[in-house]
A and B are shown apart, each in its own frame.
Chain A
Amino acid sequence: MSTAVALPAEITGAGRRRRRGSWLISACLVVVGVVVVMAVFGSAIAPQDPNAQNTFFILARPSGAHWLGTDSLGRDVFSRLIAGARTAFLGPLVIAASSMLLGNLLGLLAGYRGGRTDALIMRWVDLMWAVPGLLLIIVVAGALGSGYWLAVGLLIVLTVPFDTRVVRGVTLEQAPRPYVEAARTLGVPDWRIMLFHIWPNVSPVAIANAFLVFAGSLTSLAGLSFLGLGVAPGTPDWGLMLSEGLQDLFVNPIAVLAPGVMIVLTATSMNLIGDWLQERLSSKGAAR
């Protein structure tokens, strides 16, 4: 087909979808942008000190002074919400990035090399596959003591198998293709093939996956803090705020619901961005 007509329907379709759904993606990007700003600047932009307690003013309803009211120790919920963005963003970022790096490397190796390398890596992946990560962390936290960065480290270990499996799947599809074999017959070294030939075809899935991992880690870390096994008590953190305010749900529900809404909003935005990226990136190469 001549070039003018060769644009597959996927591209025009995606373009249209992009135009239609772009308001949604823009909204997600705005949400994420706001969270990033909150994470970076934290208490600097909060109207009040997130840790300042005020025993005269506990569990107050939203008002002019406290936009979202106060919690059981009189702290301003809105400021704590802003400060809490840091723990909500930093940990998941580290997890997503590290897991992507390690997972992609292992996945490429396993899918391209095959044989014993693959068998070894997949044994480990299968082992970790059915393990409920959160429980593992709880058990380990019980032995070693809880902590935010410990949880981050453990989550990295738990998420790498997931990334590996996904990347290995795509690599397995690509590796037997003639363009890879042609590169081999031309004498292109294996490492170059993996990084410069196969990975560009894997990248849409890998990058989209990173966003999904981010969203998942966000909820996992918040869950751990909720249980008291994540951040140290007293730290502004969305998950911890939820558990702190739970018993006072009747008095100032906002103190509990607001952090919950933030968690859902951020995670949803990241999930949507991840899905959207995958569509866009894979239609750029527009294989048949």
Chain B
Amino acid sequence: MTASTTGTVSTADPVLDVTGLRVTRARPGGGADTIVSSVSMSLGAGETIGIVGESGSGKSMTAKAITGLLPPGLTAHGEVRYGGRNLLELREKQWRAVRGREIGMILQDPFTMLNPVVRCGQIIAESLPGEARRAGRAQRRAEVARRLAEVGIRDESVAHRYPFQLSGGMRQRVAIAAALARDPRVLIADEPSTALDVATQREILALIQQIQRAHGMSVIMITHDLRVAFAVCERVYVLYAGSLVEAAPAAELRDEPLHPYSQGLLLSEPPAGHRVRELAVIPGSVPSPDQVAGSCTFAPRCAWAAPQCRQGTPPLAEVELPGVVPGRLSACVRLPEIRAEMMLARERAGREQHQAVAGRAETALISVRDARKVFQQGSRAVTALDGVSLDVGDGESVGIVGESGSGKTTLARLLIGLERATEGQVTIDGIPATDWPALSGGDRRRLRGTVQIVFQDPYSSLNPMRSIGWTLAEAITTHDRRARNVPARVGDLLASVGLPASYAQRKPFALSGGERQRVAIARALAVRPRLLICDEPVSALDVSVQAQILNLLTALRAERRIGYLFITHDLSIVRQITDYLYVMRHGRVVESGPTEGVLTSPRDAYTIKLIESVPGRQALTPRSATTSRE
């Protein structure tokens, strides 16, 4: 049933065969924009393939094209062969026999995927095949209960509840049950775990695998996270700017990527196991397919780009090089020449760097003692922080790790004056900072000049109606009313985060996510703080851009000797950036210590669970001979 685990692709009788898929969007003035320029892949029976790409790669549209659910204005060309016919030629009525019955799909966001005004049991019941739907009420109920049990929900009351009454993980399970109600042969999972907590992610991925084995389904897993693809898929297709750049068995790809982009993607992710000196970065940002038409899509950002790369679109061709298993495809025309260099770059990037961790500073810049924060929501009281104590020394880089609901963001807001602690003490630079409004204006100014914050969402971190220069100038002049030569200082700030001074005239919508985050960092630095609180600063960015920002933060720290309080849920990032670590859960600190120590030898059960939930950390099922660390 399962394809062989050595990675050869079963091209014999693929269940789904995509050839030359192209998706275009009609432009209102005439002409068309390309979303996906060319995708070809095949899916064998019982196989799990992964389509990996960042935002702008076109992966979601590929999935929607295969199921005929493209939004209005978009058209798909090419061939999608299933059951002997080209699905792209189907009319809407014919599609209805295919969708759900032959090909099922689950979407990314469990919070918007389910009809909010219909009970969960009904959502599943309406998806059942005709005969089951027309059966009597008791039979229907039994069938629904069976489906729910299959996705791990044994509580019968769930069928009576509305989606908004369930957690994200539960909603995703209900969605999976509904998508599988007609026993499709193929399941397309579009980022099924992205919107969920790390631990829940793992559960959902395991569930999908389990169901796949039970039903003999084939699965197309769409994700931006290579680690997820490696953990779950047998074969991985890497999509960049609308075209495939590489296709290979998962383990082979992980061990040796055969395209500069795949390699870049792989290296952008901080290794889970150790710290590196600097993350390998892909400069620039993802272009649209039309911008790179007629050349290798990755050429503008590739370290090995040569004139031949820009002469026509390189095809995805079989790689025939020594030491490479058959069935690996790559779109890099220079591969034979640069293979060795790529290997070197990989080694260099992966080299561990031991950081001598100094002992903790004697006087803390920030000191939190037994902080408690209770929120009143109507009649309910929600305890966000339940007795948290924490220290951050001058110039130290401290991390806070936790899932959503752990209280880490509330803690950050406490330190910055956006919230007030219900109990406990907060001291910043010797000033009691528990109650900001009670302080004198001068004290408040000092606090603001000591601690600043960078938020998670770069898209709403900047005022969309104001130019970058205006935002930065305001940051400067608010703090320092007698500031002189502001435009020059704005230029300096932009330069310090790697942006040209001309950006001061631009408005946020003209900047990419990574660039906006840089501006947000520059704004925080405008007051020359001694500590920067970073609240999930890279989780909303593409992986390749994440590395840029992380490197920037590391560099800034060395230059300016500022400290960080780095809040994140991602353990690899925290290992890369911080020296000390606090692990939070349900408003409490469950473990703390030097980052390296906590991550290598965790003591608390929750910390252990977090570490094990990292995809690829512990393979869900043995995917290839080399992985499992059971």
Contact = CB atoms under 8 A, between A and B. Distances in A.
A264 interface: no
B52 to A, nearest CB: 19
30 contacts: A2-B284, A2-B285, A2-B287, A2-B512, A3-B511, A5-B291, A6-B509, A6-B512, A7-B510, A8-B509, A9-B25, A15-B29, A177-B460, A178-B457, A178-B461, A179-B461, A182-B453, A185-B452, A186-B478, A186-B523, A186-B527, A187-B445, A188-B478, A200-B463, A201-B464, A203-B465, A285-B464, A285-B465, A286-B464, A287-B464
A187 B446 CA distance: 11
Interface string B445-472: 1001000110111011111111000010
B506 interface: yes
Interface string B418-442: 1000000000000000000000000
Contacts, number: 100
Contacts of A3: 506, 510-511
Most chain A Cβ neighbours within 10 Å, of B452, B457, B474, B520: B474
B182 interface: no
B62 to A, nearest CB: 19
Contacts of A44: none
Contact of B28 (A1, A5, A16, A203): A16
B461 A1 contact: no
Given A12-B28, A187-B444, A285-B509, A181 B523 contact: no
A288 interface: yes
B24 interface: no
Contacts of A16: 28-29
Nearest to A3: B510
B100 interface: no
Interface in A201-225: 201, 203
Given A3-B510, A200-B463, A181 B455 contact: yes
A4 B291 contact: yes
A182 B461 contact: yes
Nearest to B513: A1
Given A2-B291, A7-B510, A184-B418, 6 more contacts: A1-B286, A185-B453, A186-B452, A186-B475, A187-B448, A197-B463
Nearest to A197: B463
Contact of B507 (A9, A15, A177, A285): A285
A200 B29 contact: no
A12 B462 CA distance: 23
Interface residues of A, number: 34
B110 interface: no
Contacts of A182: 453, 455, 461, 520, 523-524
Contacts of B510: 3, 6-7
B313 interface: no
A10 to B, nearest CB: 10
A16, A17, A178, A183: most-surrounded residue (chain B CB, <10 A): A178
B479 interface: yes
Contacts of A177: 460
Q: Which 7 A-B residue pairings sit nearest by Cβ, starting from the closest? A: A178-B455, A200-B465, A16-B28, A286-B509, A287-B464, A178-B461, A285-B465
A85 B471 CA distance: 45
Interface of A is mostly: helix
Contacts of B285: 1-2
Nearest to A6: B510
Contact of A12 (B27, B288, B466): B27
Nearest to A287: B464
Interface string A1-43: 1111111110011011100000000000000000000000000
B184 interface: no
Contacts of A7: 510
B536 to A, nearest CB: 11
B417 interface: yes
A155 B149 CA distance: 61
A144 B418 CA distance: 51
B599 interface: no
Interface in A150-195: 177-179, 181-188
B46 interface: no
Contacts of B479: 186-187
Contacts of A13: 28
Interface in B277-301: 284-288, 291
A183 B473 CA distance: 12
Contact of B466 (A9, A181, A188, A200): A200
B416 interface: yes
B28 A17 contact: yes
A178 to B, nearest CB: 4
B287 A1 contact: yes
B477 to A, nearest CB: 10
B242 interface: no
Nearest to B30: A16
A91 to B, nearest CB: 32
Nearest to A202: B465
A286 B453 CA distance: 25
A185 B416 contact: yes
Given A1-B287, A200-B466, A178 B445 contact: no
A287 B509 contact: yes
A1 B461 CA distance: 17
A1 B288 contact: yes
B448 A185 contact: yes
Contact of B56 (A1, A8, A184, A284): A1
Interface in B137-161: none
Nearest to B506: A3
Contact of A183 (B444, B464, B474, B507): B474
B459 A288 contact: yes
Given A16-B28, A201-B464, A286-B464, A185 B417 contact: yes
A8 B444 CA distance: 40
Contacts of B418: 181, 184-185
Nearest to B448: A187
A203 to B, nearest CB: 8
Contact of A1 (B460, B463, B512): B512
A218 to B, nearest CB: 30
